[in-house]
């Protein structure tokens, strides 16, 4: 017997949870399939939540080590990784309550735990059960990609799915990958007391970001003690002296790196291999399931959101895409995804937040741009807090912001004023004219914009105008 639903959702992360709960509360008959033991997805259990909790503990450890700068004696800087991870688990458990299956059942969602696979374009099997979906949503997320390095498979390496279960701090740690996950975890372990080397194949960390900004971040991380090796590939891993020896190649030269543990953060791969997509005729490429702007797959009544389809592997992107699906499936509106004003944040210290186009991308697109820069070392609040590394960079075309990058304290919070400005299409003069409370970090927005007006404001022509006004008017 086959149970019939208006919507079958495969995957209980944020994309699946948002879509299923809204659809059910608006009257659709909805089934939600999750293969793990709990709802919440990678973000809650292995990603955003545990990593940010770990980052906070690492920040406290770092502040303790820097306490004398602030006139405070915090002599005991000992780190107990087990207790750090206990706190991580407590925070995850606290948030897990919001994703309790019974909560979604109370909305009318039929929550089913098990592995879902396509039987045909309308039918999904979960064990012996068959579910017919008039519409189907795939929101199965992604998992760590493990590079095919000889010897790595035999090593007891960590990924983001296992690192938060660890209890002992390694003396030396190698992180394979200089992307957001790798850098956040690398800095955290460094601040907690490990010697950390980051190995990145590309010629710079965070290749998606503005190269001017990533160069600044790399310098700041190196100043903290991270060993960052770009343009470097790991070609072999072997057991050595109770740990591991990595053979690293840069150019034509090989060198060895001896560590106690290895953390793999070399990208993500979509979770599609167990879905039997071929039974439904769903097309995929190297990035995952192919979708159009309405989040429809090649089979138009089947949708996909989140990491399984891209283009950006962030929880807030999956939530945004879920809204697009809700518009199309529930309200029958042909809404399309638009990523022009989509922010993201790498939670290093300082944080790197970005929205829109980089300077390089804007110029490549043919825009005549102005670039405003302002450093946190010239912001009074940053000076007071002792967090002066980094800058704000604005890319402006015809007095409107095309893109912005904040590298600095609380950059992930500061970016949203610029997101709103871009979304509303306001001219930069509105940022300059808005009063920002003193002393706040947000003053950097106004200061950066004002640099674009400085040359005109203090030009000879303006001085002549002021002189004329004072002669003419009493």
DSSP secondary structure string for all residues of 205-257: SSTTS-HHHHHHHHHHHHHTT-EEE-S-EEEEEEEETTEEEEEEEETTEEEEE
What CATH class is the domain 2-39+100-144+269-329? Answer: alpha beta
Residue 245 burial (C-beta neighbours within 10 Å; 0-12, 13-18, 19+): middle
Instruction: Average the pLDDT over 369-378 and give the result.
Output: 98
Rounded CA gap, 401 and 356, in Å? 8
Rounded CA gap, 208 and 431, in Å? 27
pLDDT tens-place string over residues 314-347: 999 999 999 999 999 999 999 999 999 999 999 9
User: Do the domains 344-457 and 2-39+100-144+269-329 match in fold?
Assistant: no
Rounded CA gap, 379 and 374, in Å? 9
Of 328, 302, 287, 22, nearest in space to 137 by CA: 302
Global pTM? 0.96
Of 372, 373, 387, nearest in space to 441 by CA: 387
Confidence of residue 75 (pLDDT cuts 50, 70, 90): confident
Confidence of residue 74 (pLDDT cuts 50, 70, 90): confident
pLDDT tens-place string over residues 231-251: 999 999 999 999 999 999 999
pLDDT over 90 at 458, yes or no: no
pLDDT over 80 at 50, yes or no: yes
DSSP annotation of 199? E
pLDDT-above-70 percentage for the chain: 100
CATH of the domain spanning 163-267: 3.50.50.60
CATH of the domain spanning 344-457: 3.30.390.30
Of 60, 65, 64, 6, nearest in space to 31 by CA: 6
Of 318, 326, 333, 320, nearest in space to 26 by CA: 326
* Residue 414, pLDDT score: 99
Rounded CA gap, 317 and 14, in Å? 10
* Residue 78, pLDDT score: 81
pLDDT tens-place string over residues 383-438: 999 999 999 999 999 999 999 999 999 999 999 999 999 999 999 999 999 999 99
Rounded CA gap, 141 and 145, in Å? 13
Query: How is the chain split into domains, by residue range?
Result: 2-39+100-144+269-329, 163-267, 344-457
Question: Long-range pairs for 272-278 at CB < 8 Å and ≥24 separation?
Answer: 272/140, 272/308, 274/35, 274/115, 274/117, 275/10, 275/116, 275/117, 275/118, 275/138, 275/140, 276/117, 276/118, 276/119, 277/118
DSSP annotation of 427? B
Of 41, 40, 57, nearest in space to 184 by CA: 57
């Amino acid at each position: 017997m086959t149970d019939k639903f208006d919507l079958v959702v495969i995957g209980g992360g944020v994309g699946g949870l948002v879509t299923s709960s809204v659809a059910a509360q608006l009257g659709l008959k909805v089934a939600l399939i999750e293969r793990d033991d709990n709802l919440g997805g990678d973000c809650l259990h292995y990603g955003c939540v545990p990593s940010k909790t770990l980052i906070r503990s690492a920040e406290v450890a770092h502040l303790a080590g820097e306490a004398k700068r602030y006139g405070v004696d915090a002599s005991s800087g000992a780190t107990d990784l087990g207790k750090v991870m206990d706190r991580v688990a407590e925070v995850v458990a606290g948030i897990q309550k919001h994703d309790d299956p019974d909560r979604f059942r109370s909305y009318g969602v039929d929550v089913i735990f098990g592995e879902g696979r396509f039987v045909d374009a309308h039918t999904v099997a979960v064990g012996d059960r068959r579910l017919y979906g008039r519409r189907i949503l795939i929101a199965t997320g992604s998992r760590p990609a493990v590079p095919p390095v000889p010897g790595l498979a035999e090593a007891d390496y960590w990924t983001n799915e296992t690192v938060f279960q660890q209890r002992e701090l390694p003396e030396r740690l190698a992180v394979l990958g200089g992307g957001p996950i790798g850098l956040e975890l690398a800095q955290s372990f460094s601040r907690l007391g490990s010697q950390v080397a980051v190995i990145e194949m590309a010629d710079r960390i965070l290749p998606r970001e503005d190269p001017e900004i990533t160069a600044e971040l790399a310098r700041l991380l190196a100043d903290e003690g991270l060993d960052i090796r770009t343009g470097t590939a790991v070609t072999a891993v072997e057991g050595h002296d109770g740990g591991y020896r990595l053979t690293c190649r840069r150019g034509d030269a090989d060198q060895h790196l001896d560590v106690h543990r290895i953390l793999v953060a070399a990208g993500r791969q979509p979770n599609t291999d167990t879905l039997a997509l071929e039974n439904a005729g769903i097309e995929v490429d190297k990035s995952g399931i192919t979708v159009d702007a309405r989040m429809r797959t090649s089979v138009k009544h089947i949708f996909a959101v989140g990491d399984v389809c891209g283009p950006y592997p962030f929880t807030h992107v999956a939530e945004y895409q879920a809204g697009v699906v809700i518009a199309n499936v529930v309200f029958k509106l042909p809404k399309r995804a638009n990523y022009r004003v989509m922010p993201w944040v790498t939670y290093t210290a300082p944080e790197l937040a970005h929205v829109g186009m980089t300077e390089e991308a804007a110029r490549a697109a043919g825009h005549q741009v102005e670039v405003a820069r302002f450093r946190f070392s010239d912001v009074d609040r940053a000076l007071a807090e002792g967090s002066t590394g980094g800058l704000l960079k604005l890319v402006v075309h015809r007095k409107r912001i095309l893109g912005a990058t904040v590298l600095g304290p609380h950059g992930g919070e500061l970016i949203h004023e610029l997101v709103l400005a871009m979304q509303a299409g306001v001219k930069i003069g509105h940022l300059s004219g808005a009063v920002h409370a003193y002393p706040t970090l947000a003053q950097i927005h106004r200061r950066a914009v004002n640099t674009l007006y400085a040359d005109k404001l203090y030009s000879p022509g303006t001085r002549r105008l002021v002189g004329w006004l004072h002669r003419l008017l009493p």
